Amino acid sequence: METELMQETHKFLVSKGAVPEGVWDFKRLLYKTWFKLIRRTKGDRDFDSSSFEHVFVGEARGDKIVGLHNWVQFYLQEKVGNIDYHGFFRRETIHDDDVPRLIALQFSWKDVKAKPMSSCFLGTSPEFEIAVYSIFFFLGIFERTDVQLGEYEVEIEVHRLGRDCIGTGYISAARM
């Protein structure tokens, strides 16, 4: 909340009546939404994950990769040899520039079989992604939605888990 980006996010959400006006209350709400431990595994009574972990760190469930929608984590895991990168494509933007902003990819992570499709922003800060996905979540937008971010047309998808947590959030590249 110290940054201009999060202050603008808060101000925007307050203007829509989606979050409390008090900064402290909003910080608590963000914490609960992103960092509260939740049950992701059906039939398991353990609180085993958080929304932040799912989106920004990634998880393996049995022989399946879930989450991992952050380019920084992807880079770090690839650098230490935990990811076997199977290729990528990117969605065209309005201005097809030399710097891709979206990556859609296939990969294997550690000893888990390949994730058939994953997508993430490229070059953005985790703070930016938290702001984008939080806006969708608090406004109750839970389907794939076309969005204009600056000069880029993208699709954002956010899913709810339970009443007050983000199940997942990512930039979508599936419809090309």
Among candidate residues 64, 69, 79, 110, the one labeled active-site is: 69
Question: Does 10 qualify as catalytic in the annotation?
Answer: no
Query: Is this model's pTM higher than 0.85 or not?
Result: yes
Q: Considering the candidates 27, 36, 42, 54, report the single residue annotated as catalytic.
A: 54
User: Where is pLDDT greater, at 176 or 3?
Assistant: 3
Give the pLDDT confidence of 103-150 residue by residue, as tens digits: 778 888 877 776 777 888 888 999 999 999 999 999 999 989 988 877
Per-residue pLDDT reduced to its tens digit, 46-90: 677 899 999 999 887 777 788 888 989 988 998 999 888 887 665
Out of 36, 95, 110, 115, pick the active-site residue.
115
Residue 115 annotated to the active site: yes
* Long-range contacts at 105-109 (CB < 8 A, ≥ 24 apart): 105/74, 107/65, 107/74, 107/83, 108/65, 108/83, 108/84, 109/58, 109/60, 109/65, 109/68, 109/77, 109/82, 109/83, 109/84
Q: Using pLDDT thresholds of 50, 70 and 90, give the confidence band for residue 92.
A: low
Residue type, 136: F
Strand order, beta sheet including 165-172: 145-149, 152-161, 165-172
- Annotated active-site residue 95? The verdict is no
Residues 46-78: b if buried by 16+ CB within 10 A, e if exposed: eeebbbbbbbbbbbbeeeebbbbbbbbbbeebe
Helical spans, DSSP H, in the chain = 4-15, 23-35, 51-52, 71-79, 126-139
CA–CA dist 35, 23 (Å, integer): 17
How many CA within 13 A on the CB side of residue 60? 12
**For residue range 7-23, what is the model confidence (pLDDT) as tens digits?**
999 999 999 999 999 99
* Per-residue pLDDT, 79: 92
Q: pLDDT tens-digit profile of 30-40?
A: 999 999 988 77
Contact between 102 and 88 under an 8 Å Cβ cutoff? The reply is no
User: Per the structure block, which two tokens stand in for 140?
Assistant: 């109750």
Max CA-CA distance within the chain? Answer: 48
Instruction: Return d(Cα 129, Cα 133) in angstroms, integer.
Output: 6
Is the predicted pLDDT of residue 175 greater than 60, yes or no?
A: no
**Helix (H, G, I), strand (E, B), or coil: what is residue 6?**
helix
